Amino acid sequence: MKKIIFGEVEISPSKIVCVGKNYRAHIAEMGGAGAGSEPAIFIKPNSAISFGEDEIVIPESFGLIHYEVELCMLIGDECSFVKEADAMTFVSAYCVGLDLTLRDMQSAAKKFGWPWTLSKGFNGSAPIGGFIPASKIPDPMALEILLKVNGDFRQRSNTSQMIFSPAKIISYISSYITLEAGDIVMTGTPEGVGPLYNGDSVIAEIEPCPSLQLRILRT
């Protein structure tokens, strides 16, 4: 299993739980009907994890790939049926991450009402940067969120634009799925998503988290 390092501890996340449709401008650019009354949840497997400075190798046969920059939370302790007021006590750290998406495959899945598992959970589809202790971010809904491709800004927003707060997300997920220590929760992407091509260099930033840098290789 893929392992992550936080401080001096090595952790193998059992899963990455992701939120879709959590920024209204992104919903609009994708032609969505609007946000639901609860977060839209999907899961990436441990094998989706990749790291900064990695080359992300994606076969051309997979079709169009899109970037989606997101604030990620590291769960510090197992939690189930957590109240929203207590939810953030279970977050031990934050990082910047990408939800890489096979857009052609996802569009086909939507058309037929199929799950998004392959389009969202393929190998390397969850690149993450270095973690920063949760204590360093007193308000996770007041962070500038940026993504550049080949030096050009593609996404530029603020986590204040989230529809569902990090606390709401954790509380909601934990009502159905136990979050275990080491699990990663991705909180959704703002507007500006778009395609990546062979050789593209990507930099994702959410200060004060360490930046995430990677290169796309299509084979």
Q: What is the mean pLDDT of each run of 10 residues along the chain (219 residues)?
A: 86 95 84 78 96 86 97 98 98 98 92 91 96 97 98 97 97 98 97 96 97 95
Residues paired with residue 186 on neighbouring β-strands, in sequence order: 18, 72
Under 8 Å between Cβ of 2 and 49: yes
pLDDT at 7: 82
pLDDT at 34: 67
Beta strand segments in the chain, E: 4-6, 9-11, 16-20, 40-44, 49-51, 55-58, 65-67, 69-75, 91-98, 101-102, 126-128, 132-133, 144-149, 152-158, 184-186, 194-196, 201-205, 212-218
pLDDT at 33: 67
- From the DSSP assignment, how many helices (H) and strands (E) are in the chain? 4, 18
* Superfamily (CATH H level) for 4-218: Fumarylacetoacetase-like, C-terminal domain (3.90.850.10)
Under 8 Å between Cβ of 29 and 68: no
Residue recorded with tokens 């392992």: 3
* Among the listed residues 22, 41, 24, the one whose alpha carbon sits nearest the alpha carbon of residue 117: 41
Rounded CA gap, 23 and 27, in Å?
A: 6
Query: How many CB atoms lie under 10 A from the CB of residue 95?
Result: 24
Token representation of residue 158: 């603020």
pLDDT at 68: 97
Long-range contacts of 114-123 (CB under 8 A, 24+ apart): 115/42, 116/42, 117/42, 117/43, 120/18, 120/42, 120/44, 121/43, 121/44, 121/45, 121/48, 122/48, 122/58, 122/62, 123/47, 123/48
pLDDT at 26: 86
